Amino acid sequence: MNYRHVYHAGNFADVVKHAVLARLVEYLKRKDKAFRVIDTHAGIGLYDLSSEAARKTGEWHDGIGRLIDAQLPVDAAELLEPYLDAVRAVNAEDGIERYPGSPVIARHLLRKQDRLSAIELHPEDAKTLASVFEGDFQTRVTELDGWLALGAHLPPKEKRGLVLVDPPFEVGGEFDRLVDGLKKAHKRWPGGIFALWYPVKDRKAVAAFRDDLADAGIPKIMDVEFYIRPPSAEPRLDGTGMVVVNPPYQLESELRIMLPVLGKILSERAGAGWSVEWLVGEAAAS
């Protein structure tokens, strides 16, 4: 309950996470039929990068601050444009003062027939989030434990869509909760797309998490990891990960275009890198 994402908003982990989120939403828009995005740990929606908290860490300077005006190869620029357009939409033309969280990015990309369910447990943050979407009939903000939402809100009436699970990882057991929550959610909605974010700090914990996912009995699981530096001696956010269940068929090829470009822009030093691996699925056995 003490976690505040404003300290980290717009950092390298947000860039990778939100770039993947945008590609998933763009995929869902390929069909005319409506879909729903469910964000289980939605935060406050919009982050002031000039605030004392954001200035205290300054993490966004080495994240979105590096990317927003970077010269990108044409193919990567095309894939990153929906995400970058969402960032520019909440800022003036002459710089970055605010960073959109995942619900604001997802909402920016929706069509008129699509819907967003933004869920946040912290009472103050839920109130702030509701004010961001006040009067928006396409968005519903709910003050609720995101883990409970994986049961209560699935499947959505649209029968198409995406669930983003982005917990703060401020208490122990989050990896176990991700696996357990995914099992229950997938059982309720086996055809949905699920995107689960996780930090890369403890490599042994990440490896155990990946093993647990592989043994979860879920047919199609892709794991995306991105590192800005080699493993640190002390626990530190060296990288970011995103597990995608039922990934769109073209996501892997898109990631192999975007991630090398993001690596060149965001990496801290030699020893950085990225990977796209199937934990479960036909490609995992090939």
Active site residues: 166
State the DSSP string of 176-211: HHHHHHHHHHHHH-TTSEEEEEEEES-HHHHHHHHH
Dihedral pair phi/psi, residue 173, rounded to 5°? 85, 10
Residue 134: burial class (beta carbons within 10 Å; 0-12, 13-18, 19+)? exposed
Cβ neighbours around 5 below 10 Å, total: 21
Percent helix, percent strand, percent coil in the chain, to nearest 5: 45, 20, 40
β-pairing verdict for 221-227 and 239-245: antiparallel
Run of H or E including 255: helix 251-266
List the beta bridge partners of residue 223: 243, 277
**143 contacts 63 by C-beta, under 8 angstroms:** no
Structure tokens given for 150: 């994986």
Task: Name the token pair of 143.
Answer: 């003050």
